[in-house]
Amino acid sequence: FAMVQANDPALSIARTFLTMPDLFNFFLTGVKFNEFSNATTTQCFNPVTKNWALELLAALGIPTQIFGQIVPPASVLGNLRPSIAAELGLAEISVVASAGHDTASAVAAVPASTDDYIYLSSGTWSLIGVELAEPLINVESLAANMTNEGGVGGKIRFLKNIVGLWMVQECRRQWASQGTKYSYVDLTQMAAAAPAFGPLVDPGNNRFLAPEDMVVAIQTYCQETGQIVPTEKGAILRCSLESLALEYRWVAEQIDHLTGKKHPVIHIIGGGAQNKLLNQFAANATGRTVIAGPVEATAIGNILVQAIAMGEIASLAEGREIVCNSFEVETYEPQEVSTWGEAYQRYTRLKEM
């Protein structure tokens, strides 16, 4: 739409709309398709009809003819271009449209055998949600800022994108710029050694999106909300991690309410699953069992989808069983639930300010 407003000539001469995964598939095969999971994140997609929102696009002046056929993950697009195969010395190889969206691939690798769980893709950002058969769109889901994105097997990833380890990463960057470098192991140990249940922050507050100095942003928030201002590095880190765990509870309870279903388990996948302290905090704060791993969920999910496409495995359920049997996971049970409950009451008051 910004291109329409700017009268960008590229839009008028465009013939085909391809997202980045689709573009690479085109380079490899010479065929043009739009893969489902990534198409759903373009804001050009109607999650109810599961097709392009052509009427809306036309009303906005966006040429609708550039939007092509949408194919589901695990679609065999064709063979590798002969010129590429010859250059690499390869035989005829099929090219598969995997789940092009990284979180969709990651969720495919959740090592679950039931559907009563919440997934949490943990990294710089945390994507927390559930898989549904159909999109959940109503006034409450809009108010909660939930989204309906495509998954594998026609599933809808009903989720919320929240701040993850961004605050910790930015504190680390700030201290490095001042001449002190810490590993992530160092940071976790510093947080673990700091006093529990000090000041809290709302990670979703806009001030934490791109501050010049994350440390100062955290301290300023605490001062403005009448809390003790953390000065020690460990206290700042613990504030960040405890607050993030409490945000997990906030969103998990929203998901339970919106779906009308309790989810007793949280599967934490992705790089953030390596943070054992945050995993335990998540279990404590939410009062739910946390299962952490695998770390490389996106790559694993991508492989599973390709295996389904090639008939090597029959279903996503079978693929998840393979993940269960192939990768180590760690289980965290809730501890100090009543104390964390008191902290959550403080946290909810901050959210309401």
51-63: b or e for each residue (b if 16 or more CB lie within 10 Å)?
ebbeeebeeeebe
Q: What whole-number distance in Å separates Cα of residue 73 and Cα of residue 347?
A: 40
Q: What whole-number distance in Å separates Cα of residue 119 and Cα of residue 127?
A: 8
Pairing relation of β-strands 265-269 and 117-122? Answer: parallel
186 noted as active-site residue: no
Q: What whole-number distance in Å separates Cα of residue 47 and Cα of residue 40?
A: 7
75-106: b or e for each residue (b if 16 or more CB lie within 10 Å)?
bebebbbeebeeeeeeeeeebbbbbbbbbbbb
- Minimal CA–CA distance to 245: which of 208, 287, 209? 287
> Which two structure tokens, joined as six digits, stand for 6?
């700017």
Side chain identity at residue 170, one-letter code: E
Q: What whole-number distance in Å separates Cα of residue 58 and Cα of residue 61?
A: 5
Residue pair 110/117 in contact (Cβ under 8 Å)? The answer is yes
3-state SS assignment for residue 82: helix
Q: Which of 22, 102, 186, 256 is labelled catalytic? A: 102
H/E/C letters for each residue in 266-318? Answer: EEEECHHHHCHHHHHHHHHHHCCEEEECCCCHHHHHHHHHHHHHCCCCCCHHH
- Minimal CA–CA distance to 30: which of 89, 71, 96, 81? 81
> Which two structure tokens, joined as six digits, stand for 289?
């069992």
> Which two structure tokens, joined as six digits, stand for 270?
């992705």
> Which two structure tokens, joined as six digits, stand for 22?
């689709």
Q: By CB neighbour count within 10 A (0-12 exposed, 13-18 middle, 19+ buried), where does 133 fall?
A: exposed
The catalytic site residues sit at: 102
